[in-house]
């Protein structure tokens, strides 16, 4: 092995430098995933117990070392259970950024073409109409996962997308209006679906359960969620746990295009984007 330089008895080579850079990137991603969530406090709690374990072991306190040692023994299992949403997000992040994820890599170029055929107009017109009448709505756009688990929590529909059908579903007197609608493969797959509610403590109080459910699902999947607030009639789009609020119809089209098809179109009203976007 070729050593570049040495600090005392430590000899540093390219492998060590790459190792340190990878650990730094890993810790940074971990920090980004955990900030603002209750998981950060749990992580700090576990870290404190581990540090205490190291101290009592070094001090030779045998009884406490055994007790804390038992605790640390199940620590990995406990961490997997406690950090399940964060681990899923982390693995999703890795999966999304690796080249293995690209459709072309697998020869599935048709999948992308198919998803590009999704017409956004019914959603934009339905959202505008629902917002005008202060009727709440929750529409999930599935991306890499079909969200079967969540679709099965509601009523399966598998219908052609239309503005009229969306309006009928979210009509306050409709038996299907409660919960979320899931869109996958250019079809309305299901309605009345239950989504996981986010536990992020930084979500403003002005956001009710509907927004929390949208944020919750996008924290653990790469889906995009459209929310129409019943209280304010405002339209929001949620991705990766971040809510972009108070969108006009034009903003909604640009953002949906950008989030669903990765287009680089500039928003119709670019300056308004920052203030209305709420990162939670």
Ligand X SMILES: Nc1ncnc2c1ncn2[C@@H]1O[C@H](COP(=O)(O)OP(=O)(O)OP(=O)(O)O)[C@@H](O)[C@H]1O
The answer to whether 269 contacts ligand X (rule: CB under 6 A) is no
Residue corresponding to tokens 């909604």 = 252
The answer to whether 146 contacts ligand X (rule: CB under 6 A) is no
Count other C-beta atoms under 10 Å from residue 41's C-beta: 11
* Residue number, 169 or 260, with CB nearest to ligand X: 169
**Least distance to ligand X, CB of residue 243, Å:** 10
Candidates 46-54, 78-86, 178-186, 255-263: pick the segment binding ligand X (CB under 6 A): 178-186
* Residue number, 103 or 146, with CB nearest to ligand X: 146
The answer to whether 208 contacts ligand X (rule: CB under 6 A) is yes
Measure CA 97 to chain center: 15
Out of 39, 92, 213, 243, the only residue in the binding site for ligand X (CB under 6 A) is 213
What φ, ψ does residue 115 adopt, rounded to 5°? -70, -30
Whether 198 contacts 219, CB under 8 Å = yes
The answer to whether 273 contacts ligand X (rule: CB under 6 A) is no
**Least distance to ligand X, CB of residue 228, Å:** 7
Q: What angle do CA 113, 115, 121 make, to 5 degrees?
A: 120
The answer to whether 152 contacts ligand X (rule: CB under 6 A) is no
* Residue number, 88 or 104, with CB nearest to ligand X: 88
For 244, counting Cβ atoms within 10 Å of its Cβ (0-12 exposed, 13-18 middle, 19+ buried), the class is: buried
* Residue number, 68 or 215, with CB nearest to ligand X: 215
Whether 236 contacts 243, CB under 8 Å = yes
Which two tokens mark 136? 């709440």
Out of 209, 250, 269, 270, the only residue in the binding site for ligand X (CB under 6 A) is 209
The answer to whether 239 contacts ligand X (rule: CB under 6 A) is no
* Residue number, 115 or 153, with CB nearest to ligand X: 153
Q: What is the C-alpha separation between 194 and 147, in angstroms, rounded?
A: 11
Q: What is the C-alpha separation between 182 and 230, in angstroms, rounded?
A: 19
Out of 103, 155, 178, 273, the only residue in the binding site for ligand X (CB under 6 A) is 178
Which two tokens mark 37? 């969530």
The answer to whether 245 contacts ligand X (rule: CB under 6 A) is no
Q: What is the C-alpha separation between 15 and 21, in angstroms, rounded?
A: 10
The answer to whether 243 contacts ligand X (rule: CB under 6 A) is no
**Least distance to ligand X, CB of residue 211, Å:** 5
The answer to whether 132 contacts ligand X (rule: CB under 6 A) is no
For 254, counting Cβ atoms within 10 Å of its Cβ (0-12 exposed, 13-18 middle, 19+ buried), the class is: buried
Per the DSSP assignment, residues forming a β-bridge with 140 are: 182, 225
**Least distance to ligand X, CB of residue 129, Å:** 16
**Least distance to ligand X, CB of residue 79, Å:** 26
Binding site for ligand X (CB under 6 A): 136, 138, 178-180, 194-195, 197, 208-211, 213, 229-231
């Amino acid at each position: 092995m070729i050593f570049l330089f040495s600090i005392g008895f430590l000899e540093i080579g390219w492998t060590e430098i790459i190792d340190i850079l990878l650990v730094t990137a890993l810790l940074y991603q971990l920090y980004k995933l955990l900030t603002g969530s209750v998981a950060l406090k749990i992580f700090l709690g576990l870290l404190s117990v581990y540090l205490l374990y190291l101290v009592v072991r070094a001090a030779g306190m045998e009884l406490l070392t055994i007790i804390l040692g038992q605790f640390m023994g199940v620590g990995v299992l406990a961490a997997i259970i406690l950090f399940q949403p964060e681990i899923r997000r982390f693995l999703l992040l890795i999966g999304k950024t690796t080249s293995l994820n690209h459709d072309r890599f697998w020869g599935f170029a048709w999948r992308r073409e198919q998803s590009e055929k999704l017409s956004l107009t019914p959603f934009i017109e339905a959202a505008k109409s629902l917002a005008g009448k202060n009727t709440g709505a929750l529409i999930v756009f599935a991306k890499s996962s079909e969200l079967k688990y969540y679709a099965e929590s509601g009523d399966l529909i598998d219908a052609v997308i239309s503005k009229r059908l969306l309006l009928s579903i979210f009509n306050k007197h409709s038996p299907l209006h409660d919960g979320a609608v899931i869109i996958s493969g250019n079809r309305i797959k299901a309605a009345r679906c239950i989504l996981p509610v986010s536990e992020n403590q930084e979500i403003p109080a002005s956001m009710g359960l509907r927004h929390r459910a949208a944020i919750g699902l996008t924290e653990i999947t790469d889906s995009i969620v459209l929310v129409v607030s019943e209280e304010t009639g405002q339209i929001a789009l949620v991705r990766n746990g971040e809510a972009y609020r108070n969108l006009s119809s034009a903003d909604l089209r640009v953002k949906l295009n950008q989030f669903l098809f990765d287009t680089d179109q500039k928003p119709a009203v670019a300056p308004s984007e920052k203030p209305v976007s709420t990162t939670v």
